[in-house]
Amino acid sequence: MYLGQEYVIFPNWAIIHFTENNGMAFGMELAGYYGKLMLSLFRVFAIAGLGYYLYWLVKHKQPQLYIYCIAMVFAGAFGNIIDSAFYGIIFNDSYNQVATLFPPEGGYAPFLFGRVVDMFYFPIVQGHFPQWFPLWGGEDFIFFRPVFNFADFSITVGVSLIVLNQRKFFAESSPETIAENKKLPQEENEIKTN
């Protein structure tokens, strides 16, 4: 596919839309050479940290669902850094053409400077804001506007599950649970003496 090419799966609802993201989520980016380098290095260190944390969770037998959530975030982040690190090396530019795998002249970017490929687009609801609406009055709106990939989906699901289950996952560190755990040994001693 070339940049901007689309395959409509379900009209105005589900579209495969080929795009390349130079930065991070929702197209935000740190400008220039050093901005891209800092972003790529941050991703590498974040993935290393997540990998170690995942290892620690498994080793200490933490809740299974929490391990799965962190694994989803890790896998998504790892997939995106692979795109960013290698896509620019193995493909040429896809502007107005289908990209070539291993072009003789080399790729479009050096290691860690490639773009992440996004392709899923779900413009579920489209319309116009009324004129009286603050800030965006009279403008078009689309929900859900971002184009994303499977790695982004994996990160989003993992983080969403962590947020929805935070009380269950982090109950041991809450003040109430710590207080209950401190009371338990005293109560056991009272039962034994009675």
Catalytic residue IDs: 118, 152
Q: Token pair for residue 194?
A: 């009675």
Cβ neighbours of residue 101 under 8 Å, at least 6 residues apart? Answer: 90, 91
The residue to which tokens 């400077």 are assigned: 113
DSSP 98-166: PPPBS-TT--SS-TT---EEEEEE---EEEE--TTSTTTTT-EEEET--EE-HHHHHHHHHHHHHHHTH
Q: Where are the alpha helices (DSSP H) in 18-103?
A: 32-59, 64-90
